[in-house]
Amino acid sequence: MKLRVELIPAFLLIYTAFAFARTGNQVIRQECLIVAELESGKVVFKNDAGLCGSRIYAASTFKIPLALMAFDTGVITDSETMLKWDGTNQPIKSHERDHNAKTWLRDSVVWFSKRLTPQIGQSKIAAYLNDFQYGNKDFSGGLERAWLNSTLKISPLEQIDFLRRLKRRELKVEPKTIDSVLAILPVETDRLGFKVVGKTGSDSSWDDESLRNGPQFRVGWYVGYLEANSRQYVFASALKAASEDRTFVYSGREAKELALSALKSVSLASKVTQDFSRKSWLKDFQQLKQIISNTYPNLDSIVEVEKLDLPGLSRKREQAFFS
């Protein structure tokens, strides 16, 4: 018996119910998670709690196109290209040292980005953003903060489109430039046999002059690629949550946690082989439910509020696997 890749959305139905329940009674929070096949662009999983088509601050996900620009112009020549820390205090202590191109992305070092943009120049950056069709392409916020609670914004759907074109070598840069950037993106691996290459981003609205008197919020991102069982996917995870107390949170970590839970599920669901084993699939399904349960410790209250029939959902999915 063969199991088709199309079962992935069914395999993730329970996760989707939980993700919506997480925000179902909280209008002050929006989330989006999209996973698509790299080659075809077919969406295999989508949780849209009001955010997938909305543009939000690019934040540190802009480091991906910025790295393309830096390599393409020669501002960065290889992964070991080093910039010296100027000794100023930084919000994160690990940023208070010299960094190379690889650790710049790994540690998400803001000062490193701010040193690159003037070397590339406003007009070239604007041209690159136009060529890349990156979000709203608006870099008018300035060389040191356009991507940080300012003018450059992008939606999760646009992230998916950009990342697909990047990995498929469809952007107007040399293939070696793309290879160099992909080689320095942070990597996550797991014993389940998947590899995630991605970039987080965190931001907040209270330094945005255009929103000074409006509702305040925080933004989190995690975008990149999943390799699982010889299949390749592209994903974008984003959240936007009210933050009237203006307490900064590294929301990218939260977006990453949400994404990794779902990506593990995609990895499990993509184990499609010629020799299908009912026993092993049931084991994987139980593992998936455990992942979800661990991710949502307040599951009982969510089920009660949303009136979810989890046993019924579970039975329906098991029947779908073997029909």
Please report, for the domain that includes residue 51, its CATH number: 3.40.710.10
DSSP letter at 60? G
Asked if residue 191 belongs to a domain, the reply is yes
73 with 81: CB under 8 angstroms? no
Asked if residue 33 belongs to a domain, the reply is yes
Cα 201 to Cα 34, 89, 121, 157, 198, distances in angstroms:
16, 21, 23, 16, 10
Which of 40, 60, 94, 123 is catalytic? The answer is 60
Asked if residue 58 belongs to a domain, the reply is yes
| 20 Cβ contact list (under 8 Å, min separation 6) | 47, 49, 306
Dihedral angle, C-alpha 13, 14, 18, 20, nearest 10 °: 20
Residue type, 17: A
Please give the pLDDT value at position 119: 98
| 316 Cβ contact list (under 8 Å, min separation 6) | 13
Asked if residue 2 belongs to a domain, the reply is no
Please give the pLDDT value at position 2: 39
Q: Which of 179, 193, 164, 157 is nearest to 287 (CA)?
A: 193
Separation CA 96–CA 264 (nearest Å): 34
Please give the pLDDT value at position 230: 82
SS3 221: strand
Cα 305 to Cα 18, 26, 298, distances in angstroms:
12, 12, 11
The number of C-alpha atoms within 13 Å of 298 and in the hemisphere containing its C-beta is 8
SS3 223: strand
Asked if residue 1 belongs to a domain, the reply is no
Please give the pLDDT value at position 322: 56
Separation CA 227–CA 126 (nearest Å): 32
SS3 5: coil
Please give the pLDDT value at position 252: 93
206 with 216: CB under 8 angstroms? yes
Separation CA 232–CA 37 (nearest Å): 6
Asked if residue 20 belongs to a domain, the reply is yes
Cα 227 to Cα 24, 190, 208, 234, 290, distances in angstroms:
31, 11, 37, 9, 22
Please give the pLDDT value at position 10: 45
Separation CA 82–CA 97 (nearest Å): 11
User: pLDDT tens digits, residue range 78-105?
Assistant: 999 999 999 999 989 999 999 999 999 9
Number of domains present in the structure of the chain: 1
Q: How many other β-carbons are positioned within 10 Å of the β-carbon of residue 308?
A: 18
**Largest interatomic CA distance in the chain:** 63
Asked if residue 166 belongs to a domain, the reply is yes
Asked if residue 24 belongs to a domain, the reply is yes
Catalytic status, residue 60: yes
Phi, psi dihedral angles at 64 (to 5 degrees)? -70, -55
Q: Which of 252, 246, 225 is nearest to 107 (CA)?
A: 252
* Residues found in the chain: 323
Separation CA 267–CA 244 (nearest Å): 37
User: Which residue range is the domain that position 100 belongs to?
Assistant: 7-322
Low-confidence ranges of the chain (pLDDT < 70): 1-27, 190-193, 268-281, 284-285, 288, 291-308, 310, 316-323
Mark 192-207 as b/e (b = at least 16 C-beta within 10 Å): bebebbbbbbbbbbee
Please give the pLDDT value at position 50: 85
